[in-house]
């Protein structure tokens, strides 16, 4: 194992791993290592290290087991960056390991069953991941965020009991398995822009969930998918949804409706998007080309500013606006 010391070495490692140098705390030590027959060398490993695996070899089942056991027994907390072309993570790879705090895998496409269940993960970044197998992140109580933009399949109980998650964004997911996020009680917002099927109790007891963004998706929803969830604000590009299994009292809003029913008037013009006369507070997501103009003046002042630019009223009564 090779230890990189000094400012320049740390900057080089950050560039290789795709991390900004300012993201590293001053007391975080960066170690870069290559695999030896699929196994890591722990000779110079200390608690709190950021471990970056490079080269072309795959961390094999024995390598994962050694990593889990060594860090657990010695109490070595660490974060892991896979830059070795690793494409899959085997079943139970880090199951029960509370020392692993974050993992980044730039080429990982599949995570096996129970791979990180009951681990100490706080963050996950796998931009190429497509399949999350059953129970993969089950009961990761510390997990606060994940970046999984390409995931298509979410297995059974994959993220169940993740009580620290607040926002779920899975824009490419087509299938959310049963119990997938059950009891993730801190989640407030859910984005599923490509979803086709939402399984039994997938979001049951997500008691803080308030917003569901579907875009063009119109999924099949199991009867108890949102059991224990209160009314939702459902943002969709469709005028109606085929399923009636959303929580009672939920409201269907267009994806471009920025008001959420607050009474904010919006005007769209070729020059861009103008938000005018908005007297209520709201949260929104805007997409597409154009300019966005925001104003905070009282309605009367806005009117006084606009009136001089309005077309003059015709005296002839002919309807001519000139």
User: For 61-88, what is each residue's pLDDT tens digit?
Assistant: 899 999 999 899 889 999 999 998 999 9
Whether 44 contacts 16, CB under 8 Å = no
Would you state the structure tokens that stand for residue 212, as one six-digit string? 């569901």
Residues 292-298, mean pLDDT to the nearest whole number: 67
C-alpha span between 253 and 240 (Å, rounded) = 9
Say whether pLDDT at 319 is over 60: no
Pick the most confident of 37-41, 145-149, 299-303: 145-149
131 φ, ψ (degrees, to nearest 5): -130, 125
Higher pLDDT: 165 or 288? It is 165
Instruction: Report pLDDT for 267.
Output: 29
Say whether pLDDT at 23 is over 70: no
Would you state the structure tokens that stand for residue 113, as one six-digit string? 């069953």
Would you state the structure tokens that stand for residue 276, as one six-digit string? 């005018």
**DSSP line for 232-268:** -EEEESSS--S---SPTT-EEEETT--STTS---EEE
- How crowded is residue 132: how many other Cβ atoms within 10 Å of its Cβ? 29
| Run of H or E residues at 279 | none
CA distances 105 to 86, 92, 115, Å, are 7, 17, 14
Is 124 exposed, middle or buried (CB count within 10 Å of its CB: 0-12, 13-18, 19+)? buried
**Sign of the C-alpha dihedral computed for residues 110, 113, 118 and 119 taken in this order:** negative
Distance of CA 93 to the CA centre of its chain: 23
40 φ, ψ (degrees, to nearest 5): -90, 155
Residue 303: strand, helix, or coil: helix
**DSSP line for 155-176:** -TTTTTT-TT--EEE-TT--EE
How sure is the predictor about 292, in pLDDT bands with cuts at 50, 70 and 90?
Answer: low
Place of tokens 């009580």: 163
Kindly report, residue by residue over 247-273, the tens digit of the pLDDT: 999 999 986 554 443 333 332 333 333
Instruction: Report pLDDT for 55.
Output: 82
How sure is the predictor about 27, in pLDDT bands with cuts at 50, 70 and 90?
Answer: low
- How crowded is residue 305: how many other Cβ atoms within 10 Å of its Cβ? 11
Residues 55-64, mean pLDDT to the nearest whole number: 88
Is 241 exposed, middle or buried (CB count within 10 Å of its CB: 0-12, 13-18, 19+)? middle
């Amino acid at each position: 194992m090779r230890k990189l010391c000094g400012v320049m070495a740390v900057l080089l490692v950050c560039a290789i791993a795709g991390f900004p140098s300012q993201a590293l705390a001053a007391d975080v030590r960066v170690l870069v290592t290559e695999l030896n027959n699929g196994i890591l060398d722990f000779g110079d490993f200390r608690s709190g290290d950021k471990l970056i695996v490079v080269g072309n070899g795959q961390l094999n089942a024995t390598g994962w087991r050694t990593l889990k056991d060594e860090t657990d027994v010695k109490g070595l907390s660490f974060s892991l960056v896979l830059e070795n072309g690793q494409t899959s993570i085997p079943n139970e790879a880090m199951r029960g390991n509370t020392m692993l705090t974050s993992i980044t895998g730039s080429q990982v496409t599949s995570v096996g069953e129970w791979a990180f269940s009951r681990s100490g993960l706080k963050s996950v970044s796998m931009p190429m991941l497509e399949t999350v197998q059953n129970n993969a992140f089950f009961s990761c109580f510390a997990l606060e965020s994940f970046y999984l933009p390409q995931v298509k399949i979410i297995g059974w109980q994959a993220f169940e009991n993740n009580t620290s998650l607040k926002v779920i964004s899975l824009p490419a997911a087509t299938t959310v398995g049963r119990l997938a996020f059950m009891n993730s009680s801190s989640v407030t917002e859910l984005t599923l822009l490509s979803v086709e099927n939402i399984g039994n109790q997938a979001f049951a007891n997500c008691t803080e969930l308030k917003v569901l963004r579907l875009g063009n998706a119109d999924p099949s929803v199991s009867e108890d998918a949102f059991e224990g969830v209160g009314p939702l604000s459902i943002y969709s590009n469709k005028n109606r949804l085929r399923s009636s299994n959303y929580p009672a009292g939920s409201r269907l809003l267009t994806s471009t409706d920025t008001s959420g029913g607050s009474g904010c008037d919006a005007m769209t013009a070729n020059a861009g998007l103008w938000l005018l006369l908005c007297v209520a507070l709201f949260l929104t997501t805007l997409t597409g080309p154009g300019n966005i103009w925001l104003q905070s003046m009282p309605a009367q002042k806005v009117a006084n500013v606009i009136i001089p630019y309005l077309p003059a009223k015709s005296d002839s009564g002919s309807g001519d606006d000139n």
